Each structure stands twice: as C-alpha cells, then as structure tokens.
Amino acid sequence: MNIVKWQRPTLAWPSFGRLANLHDEIDRLFESPFSELTRTSQLLSGWTPALDVYEDKDSFVVKAELPGMKKEDIEVSLHDGSLSISGERKTESKREDSEVYRAERFFGRFQRTVSLPAGVAADKVKAAYNDGILTITLPKTEEAKPKKIDVSVN
C-alpha cells in the first residue's frame, strides 16, 4: 500500500481523521474479522479503549489499554457500584507545523463504565499506569471474599 499524503481537513469535524481511514478499516475487517470489530466501531463512537476484567478471591482487576496518555489526564471514579474511566488524549502542539502522512491514532476524550458486583472496598481501590495500560485493582470487602469453613469431624 502506498502512503498518500494526508490532507488536513478544512472542516472542523473532529472525527474526520478516522473517517479518512475507512479504507484501511475495511481492509482490516477482512484480515481479521473478529478481533477488529471493536476497532471498526470506533469510526462511529470515537475512542473506546479495550478493557479486560478479572476476578480472583481477593479482588477484581480492570485493565484498560490507554497508550500514550499522561497520568494526570486519566480519571478513575467509583460511584454506586460502577467504575468509570475517562480522560483525554491530547495532540502535541509541536505537531501543528508538521505534514501528516498518516493519522490512524485517535485523539480526544473517551469514557468507559463498568458495573461491578457488590462487595468492593471502595476506599482500597488502587490504580497504576504502566506501558500504556491502566490497571485498577478493586479489593473485595471482607464479607464478599469466599470463606473456607473448617469442618471438624469428631
């Protein structure tokens, strides 16, 4: 595939950059039909960072792919049993003088909300951001943890 110089849109329409890649998106869809479905939906809804949720006996762990963010631009909040991750990825201002050959990355706001089962110790939630992945650890309350009951046999 040849790289054709990307034209800066004359209209102030924020999603134009991604629509310009429609052809690429279709190519991808045929290459890998299942894994790329979520990516294609970004055309309509902006940026939807992919999430994984895990559960072990002590906690729930949410992992979100947020490459290239600044830690301070990520917001995590817990309200009424739902965890919300939001933020904004900003374009670097130094890019304004450069010519753009390819613009596949999304810049702008995103938000994702996950409903959590009961029993999260809200005051013990921790978040870490490493290698572009946000990891939120939500420990369970003592009551929600599975308990082992020793049965004594007489």
Partner 1 sequence: MKAALQKETRSATPERAESVQYIVPDVNIYETKDGYELEAEMPGVNKDGLEVTLEGNEITITGHRTNEVVTGEVLFRERNHANYRRVFDLDPAIDTARISARMNQGVLLLFLPKSEAVKPRKIVVSE
- Nearest distance from C-beta of residue 148 to partner 1, angstroms: 17
Question: Nearest-5° angle of CA 135, CA 138, CA 140?
Answer: 155
64, burial (CB in 10 Å: exposed 0-12, middle 13-18, buried 19+): buried
Nearest to 77 by CA among 120, 130, 131: 120
- Nearest distance from C-beta of residue 142 to partner 1, angstroms: 18
Q: What is the dihedral of CA 30, 66, 90, 40, to 10 degrees?
A: 20
Q: Which stretch binds partner 1 (CB under 8 A): 8-16, 79-87, 99-107, 139-147?
A: 99-107
- Nearest distance from C-beta of residue 104 to partner 1, angstroms: 4
Encoded one letter per residue, x for contact with partner 1 by CB under 8 A and - for no contact, window 11-50 reads -----------------x--xx--x--x-----------x
Say whether residue 51 binds partner 1 (CB under 8 A): yes
Give backbone dihedrals phi and psi of 86, rounded to 5 degrees, phi first: -145, 170
> Where do contacts with partner 1 occur on this chain (CB under 8 A)?
1-5, 28, 31-32, 35, 38, 50-57, 60-61, 63, 65-69, 95, 97-106, 114, 129-133
